[in-house]
Structure formats: structure tokens, C-alpha cells
């Protein structure tokens, strides 16, 4: 049974995640979402699949924009900042490391962070600190430059920079 405060927090995460993942299809993976099942298996409700080139976070909830970068983002964290990390990681990690953009930093998000860090010769500790966040921002900026050279739209990635860059540690 959810307490009123827990429901409010989960509702806020769900709403910000829905805005972040607007246009994505359900994949039903239940990656890091708490399932609410005693056996720990994914819940029947679907989660959101990885974004494509044209999908981006629409906007951060007002309270998330006020939080700014804050501290490191690690397993156990939740909210819009985690959704930003997940969306960013889905842009650069191989398909086998795709995450549900659910705003919950669980074991699969930690594994994807470690993969991203190892691929970039960063300390693979699974924590999004200033170095990992800085590299994610740099990778996103470089991707925008490369895509612009092809004449394709960079709106999705530019929107990530606008809405998510300030949410990451600096």
C-alpha cells in the first residue's frame, strides 16, 4: 500500500518520465522499475523503450529545474535527473544496454553507466559524477555537430542539452 507521500513522488516521476519519453513505445521490460511483486519479476505494466533520433525530453518539471546539478547520481536515486542520465546513455550505449527511461537508478542503470564509463576510459564505478556527466555533455555536443553536417535535425539532442545538461553534476 502506498503512503500519500510515496504516491506523490511516484506520480511526479511518472509524469516527468512521460514528458521525457513522449512519443516512445512501450516495451514492457520493467528494467529498473519497482515491480511491486514479491518475486521481484517485472510488473505487467509496460515501461518505456529507448528513444530514437527524433525523440527528446520535452521539459523538466519546475521543481527539477530549481534543483540544478546537485551531487553525484548513483544507484538508489530517482527523478528527472536519473531520466536525463538514462536518455543520454541510451544515445551512446549499444542496444544491449538500452534502459527504460523510468527515472529510477537501479542495477541496470548502474551497469549501463559502468559500460559507458569503461568505453570512454573513465573510472567505471557506476556513479554519474562530474567527469562522467561532463563526458556525456561533450559526447552529446559532438553528436550534434556531426548530425548537423549531415543536414539532419538535431532538435532531440539540443533539447536534451537544454533540459538535462544542468541536471547533471558539474
The region that residue 26 occupies, defined by phi over 0 for left and psi between -120 and 50 for alpha, beta otherwise, is beta
Q: How many CB atoms lie within 10 A of CB 147?
A: 17
Domain 1-21+68-170 in CATH: superfamily? PGBD-like superfamily/PGBD (1.10.101.10)
CA–CA separation, 33 vs 66, rounded Å?
25
Residuewise pLDDT in 10s, the chain (170 residues):
444 444 344 444 443 444 444 433 333 334 443 434 344 444 443 333 333 433 444 455 544 444 444 699 999 999 999 999 999 999 987 787 789 999 999 999 999 999 999 999 999 999 999 999 999 999 999 999 999 999 999 998 999 999 999 999 99
Domain residue spans of the chain: 1-21+68-170
Q: What are the residues facing 73 on neighbouring strands?
A: 128
Amino acid at each position: 500500500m502506498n503512503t500519500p507521500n510515496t504516491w506523490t513522488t511516484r506520480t511526479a516521476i511518472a509524469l516527468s518520465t512521460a514528458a521525457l519519453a513522449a512519443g516512445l513505445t512501450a516495451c514492457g521490460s520493467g528494467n529498473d522499475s519497482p515491480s511491486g511483486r514479491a518475486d521481484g519479476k517485472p510488473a505487467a505494466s509496460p515501461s518505456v523503450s529507448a528513444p530514437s533520433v527524433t525523440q527528446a525530453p520535452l521539459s523538466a518539471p519546475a521543481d527539477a529545474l530549481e534543483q540544478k546539478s546537485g551531487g553525484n547520481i548513483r544507484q538508489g536515486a530517482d527523478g528527472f535527473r536519473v531520466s536525463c542520465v538514462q536518455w543520454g546513455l541510451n544515445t551512446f550505449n549499444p542496444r544491449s544496454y538500452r534502459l527504460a527511461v523510468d527515472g529510477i537508478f537501479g542495477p541496470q542503470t548502474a551497469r549501463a553507466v559502468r559500460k559507458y564509463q569503461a568505453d570512454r576510459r573513465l573510472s567505471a564505478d557506476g556513479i554519474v559524477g562530474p567527469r562522467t556527466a561532463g563526458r556525456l555533455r561533450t559526447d552529446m555536443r559532438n553528436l550534434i555537430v556531426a548530425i548537423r553536417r549531415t543536414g539532419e535535425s538535431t532538435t532531440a539532442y539540443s533539447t536534451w542539452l537544454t533540459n538535462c545538461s544542468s541536471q547533471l553534476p558539474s
